[in-house]
Structure 1
Amino acid sequence: MSKRVDVKTKSPAELEELCSDIRDKILKVVSKNGGHLSSTLGATEIIVAMHKVFDSQKDPFIFDVSHQAYAHKLLTGRWDEFETLRQFNGICGYTKPSESSDDYFVAGHSSTSISLGVGAAKAIALKGEEDSRIPVVLIGDGSMTAGMVYEALNELGDRKYPMIIILNDNEMSISKPIGAMSRILSSAMASPLYQRFKRNTESFVDNFGDGARYLAKRMEESLKLITPGVLFEEMGIDYIGPVDGHNLTQLIDIMQTAKSLKKPVLIHAQTLKGKGYEIAEGHEEKWHGVGPFDIKDGHSLKKASLKSATQIYTESLLHLCEHNDKIVGVTAAMPSGTGLSPLMEKYPNRFWDVAIAEQHAVTSMSALAKEGFKPFCTIYSTFLQRAYDQVIHDACIMDLPIVFALDRAGIVGEDGETHQGVFDVSFLRAIPNMTLFAPRDEKSFHQAMAFAAEYEHPCSLRYPRGSFIESALPESAVFELAKAQLLVENDSNILFIGYGNGVGRAYETAKELDEKVALLDLRFVKPLDEEMLKTLAQKHKKWFVFSDTAKSGGVGSAILEFLAKEKIMDISVESFEYDDAFITHGNTKVIEESLALLPIQLAQRVKASIL
């Protein structure tokens, strides 16, 4: 590891220079490797101030989502290693305790930080360490849209544990400061003089009974009404702000004051997305997360590729909407990533972004389904995990015709463990009334969407990040419930069973073999095409399963359960799904190679199995 940056001994001028160096480093590495950019550039001064005032070796530094924690990584012994950001065996794009003891917790999904802070504060109190440790939370304004934040704030305000919450507001989504008076009052409320005055006044009015306390309270509330922090104050959390999130000296002073209060304090800091890189400055969504780009002009260096599965989904859904005005849809803060932006533009009254609120997304669509509409819940596979109760309780128990369109199913690459979309088949297959299916290519995707639009029960279709694996296979047949498609039929003892993107992988693997193999596009993993499988079991005795899903509870498990139920005992089944372990970050092909899942590696595994 590189040497830690000693922030505490640096002068204000040296700290300003350090912020500039950090931005240059982040920009150079992200332009080469890809990663999160605009938010993390904007948070630079906040993070430097955090390290100046607090100690990440003992104070829990908790970053929400943690995509804005790059400056923290650079300050805590990872300056040289930062060149490997998001690369296989390199620095993770999120906080990761196994990477550094300065990273308090794994984070990749949003809105968990304040809950973690409350838990850490409880532990600190139980250990009697309140005088030497305090949780410090950095949360972005986008994360404030999830209900979990307010559950945590509710308890924190009641229990009054010492804790610092820094709200990085780079979109002014919480509230806009009301003129010069607001800024003056915010600065005044952050000063040690005001805090001493407040404490002394509280003590003084206590001696004069309820009348004096009432008048003092009304006066303070009158001041708060022209500041944006009334919500937090009403919840029992001291509010300071809004403050300039790029004024390093002011940030340090305010954090020192907040630390001395020994109570829960929220510091509302306003920052500029992309600060320091003019092309990215502002609110453009495209600079939130980026691939490699040319620093000079901001142009992407990513080579043109095949049409992505997300693009196919968008085209298909637009076509369906033109012929069915009952189709509606929702996404949770990912309109661009899920391809729903064109739908929201064309049909603003039928498609919604509900912010980071997957639970609300599913339940609200359940009511629309109850009212006769056809909702498409368009959510990344990894994020549907957050709405599992709602899928069961609100969609499936009611047997409502909701389509769960799961983007980025399978390995997603550089985002790593928290984002790999490998569990959806395992956790959805167990739910009654749920139907699961997957397309293998562009034609079958359109057919799967047409089936989904007419299906009258809950269903889920999954598709990969990027493009499908190309294959020169027979054209896809029309999707029918629980009907597989036999793509290659012969007298071979070997049967390859592909599901979704696994069909292309199975085909590529077959090309690496000298032996003939039969190939089945399973299409539906729930319900299975049992008649087809019974027929194939009479001829092919060695089955190999190809799917971008977890092995535990996955496609292979479904097939083994079927064989056991039917008491078919002479079939051997080997699954090439993902083993029972979290999958690290890195280039998708490199990860697949490390898991022995490239076609040439799979062919070797097949050969070894049939010997």
Structure 2
Amino acid sequence: MDALLEWIQSPSHLKKLSRENLPSLAQELRERLVETVSQTGGHFSSNLGTVELTIALHYVFNTPEDRLVWDVGHQTYPHKILTGRNALMGSLRQKGGLSGFPRREESVYDAFGTAHSSTSISAALGMAVAHKQTGSQRKAVAIIGDGALTAGMAYEAMNNAGNSPYDLLVILNDNDMSISPPVGALNRYLAELMGGRFYAQAKKLGEQVLRNAPPLFALAKHLEEQTQNLIQPHTIFEKLGFTYTGPVDGHDVQGLVDTLQKLHKTPGPQFLHVVTRKGKGYAQAELDPVAYHGPGKFDPAVGLRSAGQSPVTFTQVFGQWLCDMADKDPRLVAITPAMREGSGMVAFSERFPSRYHDVGIAEQHAVTFAAGLACEGLKPVVAIYSTFLQRAYDQLIHDVALQKLPVVFALDRAGLVGADGPTHAGMYDIAFTRCIPNMSVACPADEKECRQLLSTAYTLDHPVTVRYPRGAGVGTPVDADLSTLPWGQAEVKRQGQGVAILAFGPLLYEALKAAQNLNATVVNMRWAKPLDLQILKEMALTHDRLVTVEDGTRKGGAGAAVLEALQDMGLVKPVLVIGFEDEFTEHGDPKVLMKDYGLTAEGIAQRISQQWPDVQSTPMLRRVV
């Protein structure tokens, strides 16, 4: 049969294939992934690694009636292709197109919306309990990677599930990778399990033979308990109450079908250990799965290559600052929850290995670990995405802020992130950090200021978040020194009249362009907490109207802080708060989305004119590049 993939519009079509056709389908599916992701960008090596597993799951299970819950979900492109979305793959991660992650509103085959790690087992267990309670015969399957298995939530769920009678299958996709190289005791443990295949096969065969002779079987079980440690370590999964199967070859699609068919009929909590290779089938991705984890567009014939000198990003500014400050201060310790590359810490990890700590996908641990370091006089810097700090909110309040410990939080991906969509959006951190006592919140407007505010945060005696967006800013030259800026002090960048625009973060430059057409004053606020009350009062007394601009949510954000401060000072003044509305942002090109949400110079000027029609705006001039 030719062009198997074009013929398959749903898993029901897949089930009509003979098993002999499945390897050919896997090859076609892999070619389709290379074709589409090279054109759209997106997660690549993780999807190449799950091709055979995805085929086998839909071949054996009755989806969408049976529920597949993909952990993180960045490996679900094959799943999308096989569930009727093949023709839409060209729209992947584009505005109005397919999400890069599972979304319930996108397809009935997406049983649970994901994008943050380690949630699949909890969700699938909830589904299994619901199936039992409602008398449904549906199956619940969680597919989780070895990287995601480093997070405590996965073990909380397994601890609950293993002590239950519910039918739940947990599949560990073990590719020896998360995003950064894997770390921790669990990774070493899985490596040891890999060496126990002979033991597992021998045990299974022996049990089949001895079950016909109960006394001998009982004796064998006793001897096994006494000698098992000499052959293979006890599996933690069995200790948690799961029946363990594996490891099995995750690229043998027919073998996977055999295994899944048996487990499909087996009651109770089951654990299947599948070994795959990230980047499978595309040589360069196999050699460097980290580089190909989430590439942009590329030529499949040549792979990734430099397209010339790229602008310096905020992430790179942080990475260089981190190394420079570490050179100066031996107390500095850097921590990341499995995001070394994404947070710009590769150079630091190589230059200061004893002061670099990748704790795995364990944000809660990362924050409290930093608190412990700070208690003993070290200076911890936690590099973490804004969206992932949400996962450690209790630790941020209870373990760091309550004790007023001097921990610096470098919040990458603040504001709109674009193609990764609402699950990765970083527009809530101002709101959820400024309400915490003892916390300061810095909002650098450009690359130079980012470095300066990181240095400032490092000198303070309490916790500070320094938030900055993904990608490059306006391209301000970055000094090599470690100079600081005054804590809690703003700066007037443009003097106008009538309207004063108070800008927080990178939108300062859009505010400056808008102000030219409105003859407005512009203030670079720099700090969402503490606010510069002196400048705020001055602006309120010398201007008729105030406008706040931020790349965060309006609800509880920096603009709300300005309103609170004015009220506390007894000043009544018309204030327009511009930011993201009370809704989740969609995925797409960041420039297009910023325009849609009115956060460009044109959008800001238009909002002001709509709010106050007497404020005249001249036509916006095109930016000269």
Conservation of the 8 A alpha-carbon contact between 1:405 and 1:460: yes
Conservation of the 8 A alpha-carbon contact between 1:380 and 1:408: yes
> Which deviations, in whole Å up to 9, do the C-alpha atoms of 1:297-339 show, x marking residues without a partner?
1124767542100111111121111111111110000001001
Is 1:63 the counterpart of 2:63 in the alignment?
no
How far has the Cα of 1:509 moved from its partner?
A: 2.3
How far has the Cα of 1:596 moved from its partner?
A: 2.4
Alignment partner of 1:77: what SS? helix
Is 1:510 the counterpart of 2:490 in the alignment?
no
Summarize the Cα distance change of 1:495–1:609 in structure 2 as closer, same or farther, 3 Å threshold: same
**Take 2:483 and 2:541, find their aligned partners in 1: how far apart are those partners?**
24
Which residue in 1 is equivalent to 2:589?
587
Which residue in 1 is equivalent to 2:408?
403
How far has the Cα of 1:531 moved from its partner?
A: 1.2
**Take 1:168 and 1:339, find their aligned partners in 2: how far apart are those partners?**
27
**Take 1:126 and 1:483, find their aligned partners in 2: how far apart are those partners?**
58
Q: How does 1:354-365 map to 2 (within 5 A)?
A: 354-365=359-370
Is 1:373 the counterpart of 2:404 in the alignment?
no
**Take 2:384 and 2:95, find their aligned partners in 1: how far apart are those partners?**
26
**Take 1:429 and 1:580, find their aligned partners in 2: how far apart are those partners?**
18
Is 1:175 the counterpart of 2:228 in the alignment?
no
How far has the Cα of 1:225 moved from its partner?
A: 6.1
Which residue in 2 is equivalent to 1:481?
487
> Which deviations, in whole Å up to 9, do the C-alpha atoms of 1:519-553 show, x marking residues without a partner?
10111111111111111111112111111111100
How far has the Cα of 1:214 moved from its partner?
A: 7.4
Percent identity for Structure 1 against Structure 2: 38
Q: How does 1:245-394 map to 2 (within 5 A)?
A: 245-282=250-287, 284-300=289-305, 304-394=309-399
Alignment partner of 1:575: what SS? strand
Alignment partner of 2:171: what SS? strand
**Take 2:194 and 2:554, find their aligned partners in 1: how far apart are those partners?**
57
How far has the Cα of 1:343 moved from its partner?
A: 1.0
> Which deviations, in whole Å up to 9, do the C-alpha atoms of 1:529-578 show, x marking residues without a partner?
11111111111121111111111000110000111111211x21112210
Aligned with 1:244 (options 249, 252, 276) = 249
Summarize the Cα distance change of 1:170–1:478 in structure 2 as closer, same or farther, 3 Å threshold: closer
**Take 1:117 and 1:225, find their aligned partners in 2: how far apart are those partners?**
35
**Take 1:255 and 1:24, find their aligned partners in 2: how far apart are those partners?**
25
Which residue in 2 is equivalent to 1:77?
84
Conservation of the 8 A alpha-carbon contact between 1:272 and 1:282: no
Which residue in 2 is equivalent to 1:567?
570
How far has the Cα of 1:112 moved from its partner?
A: 0.5
Q: How many residues align?
A: 592
Which residue in 2 is equivalent to 1:105?
112
Is 1:604 the counterpart of 2:610 in the alignment?
no
Alignment partner of 2:10: what SS? coil
> Which deviations, in whole Å up to 9, do the C-alpha atoms of 1:423-467 show, x marking residues without a partner?
101111111110111211122122212211111111111001001
In structure 2, what residue type is equivalent to 1:47? T
In structure 1, what residue type is equivalent to 2:580? Y
Which residue in 2 is equivalent to 1:555?
558
- TM-score when scaled to structure 2? 0.90
Alignment partner of 1:176: what SS? helix
How far has the Cα of 1:187 moved from its partner?
A: 4.6
- TM-score when scaled to structure 1? 0.92
Is 1:425 the counterpart of 2:423 in the alignment?
no
Summarize the Cα distance change of 1:357–1:477 in structure 2 as closer, same or farther, 3 Å threshold: closer
In structure 1, what residue type is equivalent to 2:285? A
In structure 2, what residue type is equivalent to 1:528? L
Which residue in 2 is equivalent to 1:446?
451
In structure 2, what residue type is equivalent to 1:592? M
Alignment partner of 1:241: what SS? strand
How far has the Cα of 1:363 moved from its partner?
A: 0.3
Which consecutive residues of structure 2, in runs of 5 or more, have no partner in the other structure? 1-5, 178-186, 614-625
Q: Does 107-116 or 585-594 show the bigger shift? A: 585-594
Conservation of the 8 A alpha-carbon contact between 1:362 and 1:391: yes
Summarize the Cα distance change of 1:214–1:382 in structure 2 as closer, same or farther, 3 Å threshold: farther
Q: Does 440-449 or 362-371 show the bigger shift? A: 440-449
Summarize the Cα distance change of 1:229–1:253 in structure 2 as closer, same or farther, 3 Å threshold: farther
Alignment partner of 1:497: what SS? strand
Alignment partner of 1:574: what SS? strand
- Aligned-residue Cα RMSD (Å) equals 2.4
> Which deviations, in whole Å up to 9, do the C-alpha atoms of 1:150-183 show, x marking residues without a partner?
1111111111321111111111735226788x33
Which residue in 1 is equivalent to 2:618?
none
Summarize the Cα distance change of 1:496–1:107 in structure 2 as closer, same or farther, 3 Å threshold: same
> Which deviations, in whole Å up to 9, do the C-alpha atoms of 1:237-265 show, x marking residues without a partner?
11111111001111011111112111211
> Which deviations, in whole Å up to 9, do the C-alpha atoms of 1:38-92 show, x marking residues without a partner?
1110111001000011022111100000101111111111010111111110000
How far has the Cα of 1:510 moved from its partner?
A: 2.4
In structure 2, what residue type is equivalent to 1:543? L
In structure 2, what residue type is equivalent to 1:441? D
Q: How does 1:538-549 map to 2 (within 5 A)?
A: 538-549=541-552
Summarize the Cα distance change of 1:214–1:596 in structure 2 as closer, same or farther, 3 Å threshold: farther
Aligned with 1:7 (options 14, 17, 30) = 14
Alignment partner of 1:387: what SS? helix
**Take 2:606 and 2:171, find their aligned partners in 1: how far apart are those partners?**
53
Alignment partner of 1:269: what SS? strand
Which residue in 2 is equivalent to 1:416?
421
Which residue in 2 is equivalent to 1:216?
221
**Take 2:483 and 2:538, find their aligned partners in 1: how far apart are those partners?**
19
In structure 1, what residue type is equivalent to 2:343? T
Alignment partner of 2:273: what SS? strand
Which consecutive residues of structure 1, in runs of 5 or more, have no partner in the other structure? none
Alignment partner of 2:384: what SS? strand
Aligned with 1:526 (options 503, 520, 529) = 529
Alignment partner of 1:294: what SS? coil
Is 1:437 the counterpart of 2:442 in the alignment?
yes
Q: Does 9-18 or 281-290 show the bigger shift? A: 281-290
**Take 1:217 and 1:143, find their aligned partners in 2: how far apart are those partners?**
35
Conservation of the 8 A alpha-carbon contact between 1:382 and 1:421: yes
Alignment partner of 1:576: what SS? strand
